[in-house]
Chains A and B, each alone.
Chain A
Amino acid sequence: MQNETGSAEMETLTVAEGAHRSTSSSPASFASSLQCSAVGKRFGTRVVMRDVSFEVKSGEVVAVVGRNGAGKSTLLRLVAGLTRPTVGSIRWLEEGTQHSDNLGWRCGLCAPDAPLYRELTVGENLEFWAQMRGAVSREELQAFLERFQLRTRWNDLAGELSSGLRARLQLAVATWHRPSVLLLDEPGANLDEAGRTLLREIVDEQRVRGVTLLATNDAREAELADRRVEL
């Protein structure tokens, strides 16, 4: 949990095979939360994860940690609804609404495999996603890109950006619509110090509007989180 001084007190939640430990009950002040209940995923005969349960309350940042192949990225894709759990359920609970399984549109996903349109410019990439949710002026988008240090790269092709700038653009695409659920998969892999500072700011801002799941093997990145879910 976040303490009064703002530093993070780490709590490790181990999800062992066949057993899980849930977080403490939700305080009434939290308006929404993400609940994963006994989630399991199998690809063919290969079991990727089994019986994963946890709850993330609005305002919390949770690091998903584990060895390579433990299913960290798969868990993020499950939360986003990009793949379905073999067993169990993932729900977004919001005050005044019924349990919702349709989480996708509330999510912002930043993944390491650079899901960007490489043939489009930086501006065209962001404008495309913006137009999907309504009207946003070019000036607003350019202003938004300022903090990602991409405003001057508006007309550059995404495919010609350095890996660090592509990572920044991915962060911009993942966050411009103020997602309730921010899913970050190794977000700092290609970021420099300034980029990591920006990442920290983004994660802090997300505390006031929703939850963050941060899949990482990097100890520095994991420190951004309030607690951990270990797969």
Chain B
Amino acid sequence: MIPAEPALTRASAAMPCVAPPLMSLRAVRAVFWKEWQSEWRTRASVKAIALFAIAAPIALSFSVAGQRLSPEVLAGALWTTLLFAALIGLSRAWVKEEENNTLALLRLGCASEAVLWGKVLWNGVLLLATQLAAVPIFIVLLDARVSNVPLFVLALLLGDAGLAIASGLLGAMSSGARARGALFCAIAVPILLPLLVSASWATAVAFGARHDAQSALQAMAAYDVALLAASWMLFDFVWN
């Protein structure tokens, strides 16, 4: 903590360097709030995610033109849309740092865990916010009937958690590369495939398919926990 004595005046020049960056809720919140303010003023990620998440079901609705799709196809289409919308938008949080040349300052001035969890939290909120608009549009345009709303919401939340956590680690990995966006997608798709399959399975049940949803939800929860643990353990290596 910074000492009670005001640290920032000329008279305090001789005082030693303030404490190293701390991993604290305050620091996580600061990273989240920075992303929020930045996004509020540019709306770059929201536009990218929303554009794809809304345009894809519109295009799909024209191509199926009145046909009734099976729950499995609907669930696959929904999660393919959500995955690619996320891939377009979620890497922005890291790309922006590289473009602003602020990655260096982040490395010097922030605890790595605070950066990771702040960005993961922000990506999760961003996904939820855009899905609030995109999912109802998908349901209406493709005439999807949600027969089990709690299951549908749970599948979305578990899927979003996995996407947000994975994008935190993978975004940092790809941020230094020249083709950042392409690299992010190239790494993320194979890693997120098991989550996507389970999410589609659970969502299909929510749309009325007769499968076992419990095992799909368990697989998603386990995968989220594994991603969380891997991010926590590996982020320092990626960051430094």
Contacts and interface: CB of A to CB of B under 8 A. Distances in A.
Contacts of B22: 132-134
B142 to A, nearest CB: 36
Contacts of A107: 108
Interface in A118-163: 118-120, 124, 127-136, 140-141, 143-144, 147, 157
Contacts of A179: 17
Interface residues of A, number: 47
B34 interface: yes
B37 interface: yes
Name the residue in B18, B101, B108, B109 with the highest tally of chain A Cβ atoms < 10 Å from its Cβ: B108
Interface of B: 1-2, 6-10, 12-22, 26-27, 29-30, 33-34, 37-38, 41-42, 100-102, 104-105, 107-111, 114
A124 B40 CA distance: 14
Contact of A133 (B2, B15, B42, B104): B2
A209 B14 contact: yes
Contacts of A80: 104, 108
B140 to A, nearest CB: 34
Contacts of B27: 131-132
Contact of B37 (A106, A124, A176, A206): A124
Given A128-B34, A135-B1, A205-B13, A140 B109 contact: no
16 contacts: A81-B107, A114-B101, A115-B105, A127-B30, A128-B34, A129-B105, A131-B26, A132-B21, A132-B114, A134-B22, A135-B26, A140-B6, A177-B17, A178-B12, A205-B10, A210-B17
A87 to B, nearest CB: 19
A104 B108 contact: yes
Contacts of A82: 104, 107-108
A93 interface: no
A211 B37 CA distance: 35
A134 B104 contact: no
Given A120-B34, A132-B111, A133-B18, 9 more contacts: A81-B108, A109-B104, A109-B105, A119-B38, A119-B42, A124-B34, A178-B7, A205-B10, A209-B17
Contacts of B33: 128
A77 B101 CA distance: 13
B26 A77 contact: no
Contacts of A132: 21-22, 27, 30, 109-111, 114
Contacts of B29: 131
Contacts of A144: 8-9
Interface in A54-92: 77, 80-82
Contacts of B6: 140, 143
Interface in A171-217: 173, 176-180, 201, 205-206, 208-210
B206 to A, nearest CB: 38
A109 B37 contact: no
